[in-house]
Structure 1
Amino acid sequence: MNSYIKIVNARIITPERVIDNGNLLIKNDKIAAISKDDIAVDAAQEIDAQGNYVAPGFIDIHVHGGGGFDFMDNTAEAFIGIAQTHAKYGTTSMMPTTLSCEKEDLHRTIKTYEEVVDADCLGAQFVGLHIEGPYFSMKQKGAQDPKYIRNPDPQEYRELVASSKHIKRWSAAPELPGAIEFGEFLREHHIMASIAHTDAVYDDVMRAYEAGYSHATHFYSCMSGVSRRNAYRYAGVVESVYLLDDVTVELIADGIHLPAPLLQLVHKIKGVDRIALVTDAMRAAGMPEGPSVLGSLKSGLDVIVEDGVAKLPDRTAFAGSVATMDRLVRNMIDLANVSIADAVKMASTVPASILSISNQKGDLSTGKDADIVIFNENISVQQTFVRGKLVFDVNKK
């Protein structure tokens, strides 16, 4: 039996324009119609958007945790808790992300993901695993635990990829011994290779690009810029990625990892269609500030959350963000001076394109998944729908 939900009195952000006083019809789990005029259908549940924006749900392609949980806790409770927490802030799809750790921990994370990936958890949907590390530069480790950082190990990564069809992305430093072969292996298995935690120079990046590295993880963070070696200047990863037009980037647009001038610069050079907004959120997202843990409770790093960001206890480096997707969209509007439609595009359409799921998600078009967020002028989320199901309502906390 079909079920219908009709959202009325809405400012609908479509790929072409914003429709004022528009109507959107959900049939089961898909978008059935979008119109300026009334959509006549019997027995539809009607939701009054009250003049608020109706936008495609946000897609977070780099997130570690939230609501007091981390994916590296390796429990179903943690996965579901994170999905439910971020749905409150408009995220309808997410890519669970790991940290540098032992191979056994990665296997446990993969196993837990497979246990919950199809669960109806009343939160954001999981759309693949992002393995972040452990193949990183020690000089650019950031908050990654140095005892786990190592060079690409063919036996290890081949075994992990063979163990699951859900690994869709892997972040690594391309200058490491074996990193080019690793990128070629990922490309052969249709896994996105991403440049991360790297001290590479231009020549390294070019070799990586030719081997299949197509994305830059948390652009600027833990990433080389211009450097001098033996008196000569070398372009780093930042400059190299700017020069490679089709390499996409992701931004932690919390206003702290990247201040307003850098958000504006990335937007000016890379353009809307090459930028995805990501939270890179750890377990403290959606929680009060204070002491927390980055990674698993068993073997993670102690951190302190203050000033709207997680820091190492000695405050020498950030230790992941506590941002939520609504905050990123708001900041791109307020700090980077982009339009609301473009900010939403960077939070939905572009991530869907990067993950090659644009046929299902990423914009409000008929036939696509009914992943929808309703928010007001301040980008304060009022309701979130995942595949046509209301998973968050600000009036029913």
Structure 2
Amino acid sequence: MKKTLYYNARIILQDSIVWGAVLVEGKRIKRIIEGKIVGLDEFQDTDFLDLKGNYLSPGFIDIHIHGGGGYDFMDGTEEAFREIAVVHAQYGTTALVPTTLTTTKEQLEETLNSYTKVKEQIINGAQFLGMHLEGPYFALSQRGAQDPRYIRNPDPDEYRYLIENYSSIVRWSAAPELEGALEFGKYLSQKGIIAAIAHTDAIYEDVVAAHNIGFNLMTHFYSAMSSVSRRNAFRYAGVVEAGYLIDDFDLELIADGIHLPDPLLRLIYKVKGPDKMVLITDAMRAAGTNVNESVLGSLEDGLEVLVEDGVAKLKDRSAFAGSVATADRLIRTMLKLGDIPLEEIIRMITFNPARVMKVADRKGSIALEKDADLVVFDDDVRVLMTVVNGRIVYRID
């Protein structure tokens, strides 16, 4: 079994950063050595990688991502899945959850079928952790860049069929105030599928009801969700306020510096703290490219978008249409806030998403016997190396 020692590194643990080395055997982390290594003679049949004082981090985990490198998962092809995994590994992502868009049942199944075909393949990039269905059960008033032609209320025949036939579905985002949404959420919970709140005009009371039957995650917090509103002259707290008030909720944050300005990121950190924040890219196909125009969703049936100001927008500029961020950019955005320790930021994109996705027993931190998913980056968070299951999939020499 191949052994590799990554040494002379600033190792980012869950609550601290230490100088030392990490020994990997095969796909697992076998030793964590704090302090400077005087000699290498004790390590037999081992490859040595001198990291020259750069950071050694757990691999980044992106639980909400649509595409990159000119591809979208809604293209419904094996090539799209493979290429997106390769592109995002270049920016430190070692595991991801492919995410769909509101679409037809036929196109959704095409994408799910492609996932089934590629999930066991050895890909020179990030691993897949299962599929995230974003929609089609949304509030039309909060559709954002979701295609309004396909938005609808939960259909028991539809979602039961999909879940029974596609074990790859591990999370589903929906609006909890819709007719049939609570029954839908109960079914997800019974099946062990993560239920998330998204694209919603719910009020606080709706969210409480949803939380009581298993909704514990908020999809791209603030984006396409209600805040304080008036009904018959009375004020009602919305989904945003519920996210703050209900401690159990984990909050997804598109920390690209555009979707959430600095004051909101600071507020979220102040109220929720680092352990309930999950950084996501929500990246669409233009991520990792230099294009000025792109398509959100499939090339055949998607929405044309502009790429400007570091973000994707609908052509009429009425809404954002996903981000063009990569994982390293999220970390730099959080560092610019100035008062959040690096180890806490890294936790938001490693351990926290691993916990949400129920894989923290094997991923999300540098710990003994966990998967050797590692990222090496410098002081500017420039990714120098990405390791997935002990195998180097990207490296700058």
**TM-score if structure 2 supplies the norm length?**
0.98
Q: Which residue of 1 aligns with 2:375?
A: 373
In the TM superposition, what whole-angstrom CA distance separates every residue of 1:312-349 from its partner, at most 9, and x where no partner exists?
Answer: 00111100000111110111111263111001000000
Task: Report the identity percentage.
Answer: 53
Match of 1:289 in 2: 291
Query: Do structure 1's residue 19 and structure 2's residue 21 form an aligned pair?
Result: no
- The SS at the match of 1:284 is coil
Structure 1 unaligned spans of 5+ = none
Following TM superposition, by how much is the alpha carbon of 1:174 offset from its aligned partner in structure 2, in angstroms?
A: 0.3
Residues 139-288 of structure 1: matches in 2 within 5 Å? 139-288=141-290
User: What is the one-letter code of the residue matched to 1:132?
Assistant: E
- Distance of 2:130 and 2:196 partners within structure 1: 15
For residues 113 and 93 of structure 2, the distance between their equivalents in structure 1, rounded to whole angstroms, comes to: 23
Q: Is the 8 A contact 1:94 1:125 kept in 2?
A: yes
2:85 counterpart residue number: 83
Tell me, yes or no, if the aligned pair for 2:15 and 2:344 is still in contact at 8 Å.
no
Q: For residue 109 of structure 1, what is the amino acid of its counterpart?
A: T
Which of 302, 305, 329 aligns to 2:304? It is 302
Q: Matched residues in 2 for 1:264 and 1:289: separation?
A: 31
**Any idea what the Cα deviations from partners look like across 1:15-54, whole Å, max 9, x if unmatched?**
242112x111110011111102537321211111110000
AA paired with 2:328? D
SS of the aligned residue for 1:23 comes to: strand
Contact 1:64/1:97 (<8 A) preserved: yes
- The Cα offsets for residues 244-271 of structure 1, whole Å up to 9 and x where unpaired, read as 0011111000010000000000111111
CA distance in structure 1 between the partners assigned to 2:339 and 2:173 by the alignment = 30
Q: Of the candidates 116, 125, 128, which is equivalent to residue 126 of structure 1? A: 128
Query: What is the aligned partner in structure 1 of residue 60 from structure 2?
Result: 58
Letter of the aligned partner of 2:381 in structure 1? I
SS in 2 for 1:95: strand
Residue in 2 that maps onto 1:7:
6
Q: Provide the aligned length of Structure 1 versus Structure 2.
A: 393
The answer (yes or no) to whether the contact 2:196–2:219 under 8 Å persists in 1 is yes
The 2-side partners of 1:177 and 1:100 are apart by: 18
- What secondary structure does 1:12 align onto? strand
CA distance in 2, matches of 1:336, 1:227: 33
1:290-324 per-position Cα deviation (integer Å, ceiling 9, x unaligned)? 11000000100000101110000011110000011
Q: Tell me the amino acid that sits aligned with residue 209 of structure 1.
A: H
The equivalent residue for 2:320 is 318
Matches within 5 A, 1:94-105: 94-105=96-107
Deviation at 1:366, TM superposition (A): 0.9
Q: Which amino acid letter does the alignment assign opposite residue 307 of structure 1?
A: D
TM-score (norm 1): 0.98
Query: In the aligned structure 2, how far is the partner of 1:219 from the partner of 1:289?
Result: 27
- CA distance in structure 2 between the aligned counterparts of 1:346 and 1:14, rounded to whole angstroms: 12
- Contact kept, 8 Å, 1:29 with 1:387, in 2: the verdict is yes
Do 1:303 and 1:313's aligned partners in 2 also have CA atoms closer than 8 Å? Answer: yes
The one-letter amino acid of 2:275's match is: D
Is the Cα–Cα contact under 8 Å of residues 370 and 386 in structure 1 kept in the other structure?
Answer: yes
The farther-off stretch of 36-45 and 322-331 is 36-45
1:262-294 alpha-carbon deviations (Å, 9 max, x no partner): 000011111111111000000000000311000
In structure 1, distance between residues paired with 2:234 and 2:296:
38
Q: Is the 8 A contact 1:332 1:343 kept in 2?
A: yes
Structure 1 residue 394 corresponds to structure 2 residue 392: no
Q: Once the 2 structures are TM-superposed, how far is the Cα of residue 206 of structure 1 from its aligned partner?
A: 0.8
* Structure 1 residue 219, shift from structure 2 partner: 0.1
What CA deviation, in whole Å up to 9, does each residue of 1:102-134 have, x standing for no partner? 111111111100101111111000001000000
Give distance in 2, aligned partners of 1:229 and 1:392.
53
Decide whether the 8 Å contact of 1:260 with 1:336 is kept in 2: no
| Whole-Å separation in 2 of the counterparts to 1:289 and 1:53 | 31
Residue equivalent to 1:49: 51
Q: What secondary structure is seen at the aligned counterpart in 2 of 1:379?
A: coil
CA distance in 1 between counterparts of 2:283 and 2:128 reads: 15
Q: Do the aligned residues in 2 keep the contact of 1:6 with 1:25 (CA within 8 Å)? A: yes
- Distance in 2 separating the partners of 1:333 and 1:107: 40
Change (3 A) 1:318 1:336: farther
2:34 counterpart residue number: 36
| CA distance, structure 2, for counterparts of residue 15 and residue 203 of structure 1 | 35
